[in-house]
Structures are given as C-alpha cells and as structure tokens.
Chains A and B, each alone.
Chain A
Amino acid sequence: MQQLLNTALGGLTLGMVYAAFALALVLIWRSTRIVNFAQAPMAMVTTFVALVVVDAGHSYWLAFAAALVSGLLLGAVVERLVVRPVEGGPEINAVILTLGLFIVLHALAAVVFGNRYRSFPAPFGVRGLEVGGTTIALTGFGVFTVLAVLVTMGLLLALFRYTDVGLRMRASAFNPEVARLLGVRVGRMLTLGWALASLVGSLAGLLIAGGSLVHPAYMDSVVVYGFVAAVLGGLDSPIGAVVGGLLLGVALSFVSGYVGSQLVALAALVILMLVLTLRPGGLFAQAAARRV
C-alpha cells in the first residue's frame, strides 16, 4: 500500500516535469509545426549556465533566474537564426535541422563545460517528507517542482487567454496569413513562442537537475518522454500535454517501481506506439478532425 502511494507520488512529481517539457514541445509545434528535438540540449545548456552562476558563488535563485533568462534568449536566437528558414518547408528538413542542433549543443556543452557528471544543487530538501511518522516519496524539492510547474502553467495560460500578446500569438499559430492581414507581426510572435517554450524547457531541465547530476546528455531521454506525453495529449493541445505528462509520469513510475527502471524507455515506446495506432489524435481527440 505504502509502495503504491509512493510510486504514484513519485510519478506525479516526475509527471509534472514531463508535462512542462511536453508543453514546451506543444507550444512550438502549434505555431511552427516543428517538433523541436533540440529542446533537450537547449534546456541542458541553460542548466549549465545556472551551474556556472552557482560555481561563481551566487545563490541558487540567481542561478535559477539566469537559466530561465538564458532559456528565453536561446529560444529566440535559435528560432530567428536557425529555424526561420525551414519554417513552412518540408518537414524532414526541420527534423534534420533540430537534430543537427541537438548534436551541436551537445558537443558545445561538452567542450565548454566538460563531458562529465556534475552535481547540481537543490534549494529544498531532497529527502522524503515525514507524514504521520512514515516517510513518503514526496520531497521538499518535489513539492517545489509541482508548484513551479503549476505556477508557470498558470502564468502561460493567463498570458494566452487574457492578454493581447497572447491573442496575437494564438492567432499566428492558428492562421498566420489571416493574422498578418490583421496586423499581427507573425514572425515576432513565432520568435516569442520559441522563447517561451525554451524557457519552459529550461524550467523542466532545472527541476530534473535539482539535487541530482547533470551531464551534456542528462536531458536526452526527457525529450522522448516529453514527446510521448505531448502525443498522448494530441501534440496540439497545451492542456493535453499537461495531462499526458502526468499520466506518463505515473505510468513510467509504476513500470520503474514494479518492473525495472531499465525498461522505462521501452514502456514509453510501447505507450507511444499504442497511442499512435489506436488514437493518433491523442487521448482526448474529438471526433472532428483537427485542422491541418
């Protein structure tokens, strides 16, 4: 019973991170029809930025902020300089481009920061909280993880729902040509979208790194889990991505706890193939086919 609870709790915490990462992928997919496989190394690079700030003797929070800001900038720069020319082109070009970027960022991080495991600080305890005399699998940092993702999602939701910029961004994503006719600078909105997505990716990277080890490859599998979560939710829906992330987190946590942690990625693959075969539009797809 206790193991069941703990597995579920661990899954939810992890699921939150996958949700954030899936959300980052969905934001980009919605606006540019590109799955940004480079999201993982982009997040990794910003985590290393945080590590540099920490190494320089500054506080965790300054490092945290530095990583998020550098995520924002990196996303904008990548969209503007590298991705812009392939937008609207053949999809295979975009795939190859983001993978090329994946390799570049990996290698760059290894050259600049070294190709070894480094420990990353956490601002809160990473030992299980005590509830009624027993230790549960929820850590202080886990609580922070959940809250950080929830707050970020709330802010994003508010941005998209209630602000003019959000409205322009959504219009650019749904119908770029009409948006242009209505005076929206679509290019800027895409850049902003990539920047925000990259920020959310950075957040996921920081949350995975906290109290653990970082390495140029430490986010690689997360991009797979984020992708699976996003596909679970339909790849087009931010809410779907969040729900997909949580479901996947719990599912993988159970696989890890009851079968073996080595098979987590295999389980993710199986889930992905099941979804793509049985419900290609995602778990929550309506009967009506989506545009495009």
Chain B
Amino acid sequence: MLTVTDLSAGYGPVRALDGVSFTADRGRVTAVLGANGAGKTTLLRTISGLHRADRGSVELDGSRLDRVAAERMPALGLAHVPEGRGVITELTVEENLRLGGLGRAGRVDPADLERVYTLFPVLADRRAALAHVLSGGERQMLVIARALMARPTMLLLDEPSLGLAPRIVAQIFELLRGLVESESLSVLLVEQNARSALSIAHRGVVLNLGRVVADDDADVLAADDQLRHAYLGF
C-alpha cells in the first residue's frame, strides 16, 4: 500500500503540489486524474525521488520513500514508467529489459525475461532489434515490461495512453488489469484520458492545481456529473 501524506513540491516559486494526501491500495489500480498542469507528473516524480518534496511523506508498505534516492526505488519494489515512456532507443529491446531486471538485485533472472516475453510476445520477436525501431504501442509495452522485470509491488504509470490508438490503449489496459488480478500488483495510473482510466481503476484521485479535489471509488467518480464536467472533461 502506498500512502502519500501532505505532499508538497514545486519548481522555484511555482507550487505544483500543495498538501496532497491519498492512499493507493495493494492489488488495485488507482487512477490519478486531472487536466494539463494539474501536477500529476510532478506527483509521480516526487514519489519516485526524481523531484524533491518540500513537505510531506510517502510510504510504501510501511517503509518511508521520501528522502530515498530515485535509484534505490526498484530495490524497494517501486517502478516508475515516466511520461513520454523513456525507452532507451539506443539499446536493443532485450537490453532495455535486462536493465530493468538489474535494478532490483543487481543481476538479471532469466526467468523474469521469459515471463515478460510470454506476456508480450511482440517483444520476444524483436528482442535483438534496437528499441529505436519500435512503434509507439510496442514502446509502451516495452517500458511496462521493463518495469515488470524488477518485480515491483507498486507500478507508477504516467499517461500510458498518450499518442496511442484507442485499440492499443484498450489492449494495454487489458493487460494491466490481468497483471493486477493475477499478481496482486498495485498500479498508480496517471491519465488525462479519464474515461478509459476509470474503466480499469478501482479508485480515483482527482487533482486540480496541485490539490486533491476528489478521492473516491472509480464508479462514484464516473457517476458524478459535476466532477466529470469540471475536471475530467467527459
């Protein structure tokens, strides 16, 4: 379980997060929604230690994550797939995956590789290709697979649907749902595309200008017309 308490962060004078608190339960998908500039990316970056929090705390299954360097997160069970995906295009598909595996224990377990190749057969076919040649959808699969290589308990995803065709998005979300159910993975899913995010999420947190304006079960949020119109845009 990920617990965020009173988290604040910013860029110089800009306050991007202002006292954000919520929990993301184990084995659940928690959606973080909000318009452009709401602070979603900043939230994820602050949780994973890429950005320094000014105030507040983050706990994952009882251990404090704030003040922990980003490079130690994989060992603590947290994986962050950044906005814009973060495929290292100069490396091959398999090298990207191996890199993911190295993060947890310092070496790659071949069983992990086999597992993600079974989950994502597309990647298995192109394991020796440079990641540069992959399509957008394949890249998204690659970064999710790479994150799974570290056997995380908590997966942070920043706008996985960005720039992908609806069919591909549905496919990826379907896959995520399966993982959450079969492996009790927890997912914190940042999305602007609120409708599809809420369709797989159990819970949703809505951010506006760095503050939590709603935090409820996904179906409750989806049914709240006022909220939908004001913040979710559907």
Contact = CB atoms under 8 A, between A and B. Distances in A.
Query: Is A–B contact present in the complex under a CB 8 A cutoff?
Result: yes
Interface string B177-198: 0000000000000000000000
Contacts of B48: 181
Interface in A140-193: 164, 167-168, 170-171, 174-175, 177-186
Interface in B181-232: none
A171 to B, nearest CB: 5
A184 B103 contact: yes
A183 B73 contact: yes
A183 B88 contact: no
B103 A182 contact: yes
B104 A183 contact: yes
Interface string B83-124: 000101111000100111011101110000000000000000
Nearest to B103: A183
Contacts of A291: 89-90
B128 interface: no
Contacts of B108: 164
Contacts, number: 70
A181 B72 contact: no
Contacts of B90: 170, 174, 291
B73 A174 contact: no
B86 A181 contact: yes
A181 B150 CA distance: 11
B70 A180 contact: yes
A184 B102 contact: yes
Nearest to B49: A180
Contacts of B160: none
Interface residues of B, number: 29
Contacts of A167: 91, 95, 98-99, 102
Nearest to A187: B71
B74 interface: yes
B75 interface: yes
Given A167-B102, A171-B99, A177-B86, A183 B91 contact: no
Nearest to A236: B90
Given A164-B108, A171-B91, A179 B80 contact: no
Interface residues of A: mostly helix, strand, loop or mixed? helix
A17 B75 CA distance: 42
Which of A177, A179, A183, A291 neighbours the largest number of chain B CB atoms within 10 Å of its CB? Answer: A183
A178 B158 CA distance: 13
Contact of B50 (A168, A180, A182, A183): A180
B28 interface: no
A62 B47 CA distance: 51
A179 B72 CA distance: 11
Interface in A98-133: none
A139 B102 CA distance: 46
Nearest to B78: A181
The 3 closest A-B pairs by CB, nearest first: A183-B103, A183-B74, A178-B86
Interface of B: 48, 50, 69-75, 79-80, 82, 86, 88-91, 95, 98-100, 102-104, 106-108, 146, 150
Given A167-B99, A177-B86, A181-B82, 8 more contacts: A174-B88, A174-B90, A180-B50, A181-B79, A182-B150, A183-B75, A184-B99, A186-B71
21 contacts: A164-B102, A164-B108, A167-B95, A167-B98, A168-B99, A168-B102, A170-B90, A174-B90, A177-B50, A177-B82, A179-B99, A180-B70, A181-B79, A181-B82, A182-B103, A182-B146, A182-B150, A183-B104, A184-B99, A184-B103, A291-B90
